[in-house]
Structure 1
Amino acid sequence: MDPMDGGMRYTPGSSDKDWDTAVTFLPASDNKKLEKKRGPGRVGIIVGLVILAAVLALIIGLLVWHFHFRKDLKLQKIYIGSLRITNEVFVDAYENPESAEYKNLADKVKDQLKSMYSEAPELSKYYMGSKVQAFSEGSVIAYYESEFAVPMGQEAAVDRAVNRLTEAYSSKIRRVQQGPLVFDHVATSALDTRLFSKARTNLRFAQHTRSSAEETIKSPGFPDQPYTPNSFVQWQLRGDPGHVLKLSFDTFYLENNCSNDFVRVYDSLVAMDEHLMAEKCGFYSPSNPLTFISSSNVMLVTFVTNDNGNFPGFRAGVTQIPRDSPDLACGGKLSGGFGNFNSPNFPSYYPPRKTCQWDIEVPTGKFIKLKFPKFMVSTGSPNCPGDRVQIADKSPLCGQQPANTMVTVSSNQVSVVFKSDSSQVDRGFSGTFETFEPSDPCPDQFQCDNKRCVKPSLRCDGWNDCGDSTDEKNCQCDVSMIQCKNGFCKPMFWRCDGVNDCGDNTDEFNCGCKTGEFKCKNDQCVSEKLKCDGKNDCKDGSDEEGCGREICKASTFACSNGKCITKQNPVCDGQDDCGDKSDESNCDCGKKAFSASRIVGGQDADVGEFPWQVSLHIKNTAHVCGASIISDRWLVTAAHCVQDDPKIKYAQPGTWEAYLGLHKQKEKLQATKRFLKQIIPHPYYNPYTYDNDIALMELDLPVTFSRTIQTICLPTSTDVFPTGESVTISGWGATREGGAGAAVLQKANVRIINGTVCNELMGGQITSRMTCAGVLSGGVDACQGDSGGPMSYLTNGRMYLAGVVSWGDGCARRNKPGIYTNVPKFRAWIKEKTGV
């Protein structure tokens, strides 16, 4: 029988214990050292006075330095800008910084900038000089860098003065009379401090793409070696007049933390924030590439690295496209009963400074329904001041909208206008339009108050499918749902979980505990055996109160220094909440290679989407179980995968081979294969109940991490994964009950299910070391062959190993969730055995 088929209930004594740190007191080596000393003599007094005088002199010196000399310390401030010269015509020589024409015009620009800064006393006294970085067409645009030496404490005043001066020159066409140049459209911004450092290696390249040829840019050393540390590289890219540039990354693999290594793409020839299209790091799949289009014939790419953690890097192709190319066209007239429209370059990034208008007309007597299956338009904020989609006189749309966002128009004509500003582009949107009868806006569907249409089956199912909850109001619930007094229906597995899901606390009424259970202060019920066991089984920690010890509550995080953090999910969120950084240690884990759902009802995962997933094979045979990478030597799997049977010695390391970085089972030769050094099943694993169903595997050789091989984060022993939260399962198991295993790694999203409800559904077989997850309506689940694989939970941008696929009653059956080993319960044991 496969372990996924179920078992009898049996609960042995818990072996879990907190990972305690011992304190050792060292004895004195010489008892005389502990004896009371006599008072100091005359020499001691003199020495003490000398030391006191020296300390006073030091303090006085520091105060004098602070109040007198420190004011002379100056900081380097660099401002990047551009201006348009209206009385010059661009010539090819302006592309070459060594040409006489370039130098002559650059000198004029520097004189003009000096004159401009002299108008502001706050700037003229700190001004050090300017450098011209480049020229481009239109008539001639000059890109420059200005340096100021600013006394400490005056940085904000200088920023304000630069902004005032820029606004003065940009608010009107200012004709400068004291120099030979006439210019307007002045723009200036402070240079990002990460882009300049005297300690960094600086490289600069200039490339001009002509005709239809493709230029290539790549990180230093690519593809033969990782990119160089502590460097700053920039590429000034140009195209011919009348063209725009298209930058396409066919490979992009950097460190995940953008504060360390990053690429920035600008719609300019200098690094001005107001022309920053995007800042990127991490990994992007070739199937979901990064592609950017400029608004003119210039573009700047900058690449910054710190002094450690370097990765393979990137390569990109640069081509030019005629500005009037049909590929860049957008907007126009649309008519008929159905049609579609997309933002420019969708699904890649739309260009900055773009305006598109679609005028849509449907037959007379019909109304228009607009739907956006995908919508990612820059970053949203109230009133959408940047990039936005405007539909008639309705509120503009921006940011990331839910899939299939719908807008209805009570007319047979409407204009849809898309506008992007000069910075921060995104992937854009896909849109459709169709007609509907004014008297029946949602044929055969339920109409939400926000005009969205949803399937009738989604009405009163406990989930907010409309987005405004109107599909869940005034409901008559069936016996499988909680009937809230306020008219809502909620899933039964939310009953008595200590969370007010109804909003009026109906789901938490009449939650008495059974015989042998302890009632927590939050009305949660836990086994009496769990009281005072050193672990917070109640979510509020009340099962550990009055036990003669102090521990952090379950809703807090225990720091290494003994501090308890009440902040939600403080681990690896980039902030040192503990004060000793213990909540930010061991955080190089759980990052998907990129962002893109056992698995019945799932879909194909993308290459590298779950880089911690392992395929376990009996030597020279097919896939048997899954596992998760937690370090370069250790894997976590299920104990039931490593139990001997009469034919195969599953408990012996020599039986197995592990494939890491595998995506398709038929591509084993392209994956990293490792043999096992040892297998450690949990000592209290029960083969009849699958309690304590967890095991560790040590690899014979450490693995090298890559974009397809990474560790998943381990949760802390106090982590709780809330009922109703979405988790992800993955594996090569059967795609239907009794079916064959999957050829391609599968993924699916399921939800955590209340333990009390799950225990009722599974006939009382659930222990505190198990977690239930699934879709109670059926159709999505783990299955045979997924055992040992991960159930992962996303928090603070990282994936955590919340559970290990353990067992279930069949696969994807209604009201039969999957059962997973609760990894936080075994955190101390994992630490004890592996050191991870």
Structure 2
Amino acid sequence: MLRRMYRKTRRKPKGLQRLWIRLLNIPHLAIIIAGVVFVVVVVMWSLLWVFIFRRESNSGVYFAGMFRVADVEFIPEYRQAESHEFVSMANNIQHVVSNVYKMSSVARLYKQAVISDLSNNNKGGVLVHFWMVFVVPQLKSPAVCEECVGAIFRDSVHTSMKNRSSVGYLLGLPVDIDSILINAVQRSDYSSNGAGSQCVDKLYANLPGSSVPLNVFPSWGGVTCHVKLTAVPGSLIRLTVSVFHIEPSDCVNDALTVYDALLPMRGRILHRMCEPVSSSFSLVSTSNVMLLSFRMTNGNKSFRGHFEAIAGEICMSHIETQLKPETSGQIYSPFYPSLLPPQCACTWKFKTPNRDLGVALHFENYVLKPKNMKACDQGWWKINDIIFCGSYVGHQTTFRVADHRPEVEFRCSSRNSAQPFQASYSSYNISQPCPESHFLCSTGLCVEKSRRCDGLDDCQDESDEVFCCKSSHLLHKTACLGSRALKNKMLHIFKARPTKNCAGKVLCILCLYAMERKTASMEEMRSTALMV
């Protein structure tokens, strides 16, 4: 009876307690833990997708570009990015550029355009430097290749061109199609030139000939610095590098890159320095703007130099040579001794005392050869309507023009700055280029006959050691030809192999023939070989 009363009076657990008791049961606890782990995994995966994988799958692609706005007068306020005039013009140009790409096939990938600089231009109008940013999934990265992005902009201008002019109109903005240049750049280039960067500096040369000092101090080490140089309209910029203290590298750690623009565009690189500079040198731009891009790691690094505005040279000279060949003068490359810019030209008009005399040009480390199908990379020359290509060599050369009134035209043709050249000129006898006691080398030099076949490279291309066969050569254990180059050439022509003492071999007979004739042409030696 009492037990029954106790059972009736004992309270049953409430709902929350009852649930807790059930949860503490082992099967239920395992299910709860599994559910919590699942929720945590889902949350973590979502965070990884949003902040890592999605960011990696959509990467930014950056471009730097420039073009000329024609028929627009440049005003000094455009140099100040904070001025109302700059902001108004930049917003207008930015709207035009954005409209071009928002109406193109890459509209979904286009993000923004940023106008970096407005500068004056030697051709008139306003030169625009701008950035473009695309957000591109990795699978669609070929859609925003450098050629594709440039073609979209050029095609938009081309469709609006009128009257066979190079100027097209984009929403009323006159754009010169020949001035358009767009290059892909690194994100670091964009960020280091962006707004708020503490490493961007602008310097202006407002007076031609006045020197503006340019120093990068060691305290700037460990950063990437961009210094923008601008000169008065109609002038060029000459940069002089006095000292550049860095550690030698492969242009990865310490380097200075000079651009023929105000943005780091690969297609406008003038010069690149990756090693210390102790002797002063200078280089010249093709317009009135220049960008210096410094990359220096931590350490005692420094740069000292200056820049100035210079006038573009009108390089043309009328030269009268003297009767005596020993009397000579000098001609120099444009802007000498500065490095040659990618664009320059010079013309020399010579006149000799009479028709029997031509003009000889004596170069220290330069040679002229007739142009072939390849482009001239180190100088384009036109001499009496014949095209030649120049190239740098490690020896002296002489180029002769068999005309008493030749016109020599030179044009810079290198993509980057090139080494300067100088040449001495003199008159020479067209019928007898060298004195009687000398012979003519293939390099154009005149060498004494006594120095021929002496085992020394007097012509600086071994042409004075060709066809040199002496009696001592007949007993040589490998060949009877003194010149290895000639030996290989003759082996290629006649398919002969000289053996010990050259007994009964074609090359030995050719050698004897050359000994008797002193000199022999290749055709004479070939005909002799056919008779053997």
Whether these two folds match at TM > 0.5 is yes
Work out the CA distance in 1 between the residues paired with 2:58 and 2:91: 27
CA pair 366-376 structure 1, distance change in 2 beyond 3 A: closer
User: Structure 1 residue 418: deviation in Å?
Assistant: 1.9
Q: Of 124, 130, 134, which aligns to 1:144?
A: 130
- Which residue of structure 2 aligns with residue 331 of structure 1? 316
CA pair 466-115 structure 1, distance change in 2 beyond 3 A: farther
Q: Of 165, 184, 208, which aligns to 2:204?
A: 208
C-alpha contact (below 8 Å) 2:193/2:226 kept by paired residues: no
Work out the CA distance in 2 between the residues paired with 1:508 and 1:451: 36
Q: Aligned pair 1:127/2:114, yes or no?
A: no
- Which residue of structure 2 aligns with residue 473 of structure 1? 466
C-alpha contact (below 8 Å) 2:380/2:387 kept by paired residues: no
Q: Aligned pair 1:316/2:305, yes or no?
A: yes
- Which residue of structure 1 aligns with residue 266 of structure 2? 273
Using the TM superposition, name which of 138-147 and 456-465 deviates more. 456-465
- Which residue of structure 2 aligns with residue 660 of structure 1? none
C-alpha contact (below 8 Å) 2:193/2:200 kept by paired residues: no
CA pair 509-398 structure 1, distance change in 2 beyond 3 A: same
Using the TM superposition, name which of 296-305 and 394-403 deviates more. 394-403
User: Structure 1 residue 376: deviation in Å?
Assistant: 9.7
**CA deviation vs aligned residue, 1:521-552 (integer Å, no higher than 9, x gap):** xxxxxxxxxxxxxxxxxxxxxxxxxxxxxxxx
- Which residue of structure 2 aligns with residue 104 of structure 1? 88
Q: Aligned pair 1:282/2:282, yes or no?
A: no
CA pair 168-376 structure 1, distance change in 2 beyond 3 A: farther
CA pair 158-412 structure 1, distance change in 2 beyond 3 A: same
- Which residue of structure 2 aligns with residue 448 of structure 1? 441
**CA deviation vs aligned residue, 1:628-662 (integer Å, no higher than 9, x gap):** xxxxxxxxxxxxxxxxxxxxxxxxxxxxxxxxxxx
What does residue range 429-508 of structure 1 map to in structure 2 within 5 Å? Answer: 429-443=421-435, 444-449=437-442, 451-462=444-455, 464-466=457-459, 469-477=462-470, 485=479, 487-489=481-483
Work out the CA distance in 2 between the residues paired with 1:111 and 1:509: 83
CA pair 447-143 structure 1, distance change in 2 beyond 3 A: same
Give 1:124's aligned amino acid. Answer: A
- Which residue of structure 2 aligns with residue 292 of structure 1? 283
Work out the CA distance in 2 between the residues paired with 1:133 and 1:453: 58
Q: Aligned pair 1:233/2:214, yes or no?
A: no
User: Structure 1 residue 73: deviation in Å?
Assistant: 0.8
- DSSP-derived class of the 1:116 partner: helix
User: Structure 1 residue 147: deviation in Å?
Assistant: 1.2
C-alpha contact (below 8 Å) 2:479/2:499 kept by paired residues: no
Give 1:356's aligned amino acid. Answer: C
Q: Which has the higher helix share?
A: 2
CA pair 421-135 structure 1, distance change in 2 beyond 3 A: farther
C-alpha contact (below 8 Å) 2:343/2:411 kept by paired residues: yes
- Which residue of structure 1 aligns with residue 151 of structure 2? 164
CA pair 280-478 structure 1, distance change in 2 beyond 3 A: farther
User: Structure 1 residue 217: deviation in Å?
Assistant: 1.9
| Unmatched tracts of structure 2, length 5 or more | 1-44, 323-327, 502-532
CA pair 352-473 structure 1, distance change in 2 beyond 3 A: closer
- Which residue of structure 2 aligns with residue 191 of structure 1? 185
- Which residue of structure 2 aligns with residue 179 of structure 1? 171
Give 1:334's aligned amino acid. Answer: I
Work out the CA distance in 2 between the residues paired with 1:252 and 1:263: 9
Q: Aligned pair 1:371/2:362, yes or no?
A: yes
C-alpha contact (below 8 Å) 2:378/2:418 kept by paired residues: no
CA pair 490-256 structure 1, distance change in 2 beyond 3 A: same
Using the TM superposition, name which of 85-94 and 234-243 deviates more. 234-243
- DSSP-derived class of the 2:111 partner: strand
CA pair 236-449 structure 1, distance change in 2 beyond 3 A: closer
Work out the CA distance in 1 between the residues paired with 2:142 and 2:329: 52
- DSSP-derived class of the 1:358 partner: strand
**CA deviation vs aligned residue, 1:334-377 (integer Å, no higher than 9, x gap):** 22133321112323212332111112222321122222113399
C-alpha contact (below 8 Å) 1:482/1:489 kept by paired residues: no
User: Structure 1 residue 463: deviation in Å?
Assistant: 5.0
- DSSP-derived class of the 1:283 partner: coil
CA pair 384-482 structure 1, distance change in 2 beyond 3 A: farther
- Which residue of structure 2 aligns with residue 16 of structure 1? none
- DSSP-derived class of the 1:397 partner: strand
C-alpha contact (below 8 Å) 2:157/2:167 kept by paired residues: no
Give 1:125's aligned amino acid. Answer: R
Q: Aligned pair 1:254/2:253, yes or no?
A: no
User: Structure 1 residue 265: deviation in Å?
Assistant: 1.1
Q: Of 249, 257, 263, which aligns to 1:264?
A: 257
Q: Of 66, 75, 99, which aligns to 2:59?
A: 75
- Which residue of structure 2 aligns with residue 348 of structure 1? 338
Percent of pairs with identical residues:
22
CA pair 480-488 structure 1, distance change in 2 beyond 3 A: closer
TM normalised by structure 2 equals 0.69
CA pair 170-113 structure 1, distance change in 2 beyond 3 A: closer
Work out the CA distance in 2 between the residues paired with 1:465 and 1:169: 60
Give 1:189's aligned amino acid. Answer: N
Give 1:361's aligned amino acid. Answer: K
Q: Of 402, 412, 422, which aligns to 2:394?
A: 402
- Which residue of structure 1 aligns with residue 403 of structure 2? 411
User: Structure 1 residue 170: deviation in Å?
Assistant: 7.5
What does residue range 785-800 of structure 1 map to in structure 2 within 5 Å? Answer: none
Work out the CA distance in 2 between the residues paired with 1:194 and 1:300: 16
User: Structure 1 residue 430: deviation in Å?
Assistant: 0.6
Work out the CA distance in 2 between the residues paired with 1:376 and 1:449: 11
CA RMSD between the two structures: 3.8
What does residue range 640-719 of structure 1 map to in structure 2 within 5 Å? Answer: none
- DSSP-derived class of the 1:112 partner: helix
- Which residue of structure 2 aligns with residue 93 of structure 1? 77
Work out the CA distance in 2 between the residues paired with 1:88 and 1:167: 20
Work out the CA distance in 1 between the residues paired with 2:411 and 2:221: 39
User: Structure 1 residue 317: deviation in Å?
Assistant: 0.7
| Unmatched tracts of structure 1, length 5 or more | 1-60, 492-498, 511-836
- Aligned residue pairs, count: 422
Q: Aligned pair 1:304/2:300, yes or no?
A: no
Give 1:82's aligned amino acid. Answer: M
CA pair 149-370 structure 1, distance change in 2 beyond 3 A: same
CA pair 100-154 structure 1, distance change in 2 beyond 3 A: same
Work out the CA distance in 2 between the residues paired with 1:482 and 1:74: 76
CA pair 276-199 structure 1, distance change in 2 beyond 3 A: closer
Work out the CA distance in 2 between the residues paired with 1:163 and 1:194: 21
C-alpha contact (below 8 Å) 1:79/1:191 kept by paired residues: yes
- DSSP-derived class of the 2:261 partner: coil
C-alpha contact (below 8 Å) 1:163/1:188 kept by paired residues: yes
Work out the CA distance in 2 between the residues paired with 1:94 and 1:314: 29
**CA deviation vs aligned residue, 1:157-200 (integer Å, no higher than 9, x gap):** 42231232355367765655552421112221112566456899
- Bigger CA radius of gyration: 2
User: Structure 1 residue 305: deviation in Å?
Assistant: 2.8
User: Structure 1 residue 215: deviation in Å?
Assistant: 1.7
**CA deviation vs aligned residue, 1:533-588 (integer Å, no higher than 9, x gap):** xxxxxxxxxxxxxxxxxxxxxxxxxxxxxxxxxxxxxxxxxxxxxxxxxxxxxxxx
User: Structure 1 residue 204: deviation in Å?
Assistant: 0.2
User: Structure 1 residue 507: deviation in Å?
Assistant: 10
- DSSP-derived class of the 2:340 partner: coil
Give 1:130's aligned amino acid. Answer: A
**CA deviation vs aligned residue, 1:451-497 (integer Å, no higher than 9, x gap):** 44334454224455546643222213486999674633479xxxxxx
Work out the CA distance in 2 between the residues paired with 1:456 and 1:296: 51
Give 1:107's aligned amino acid. Answer: N
- DSSP-derived class of the 1:97 partner: coil
Q: Aligned pair 1:217/2:195, yes or no?
A: no
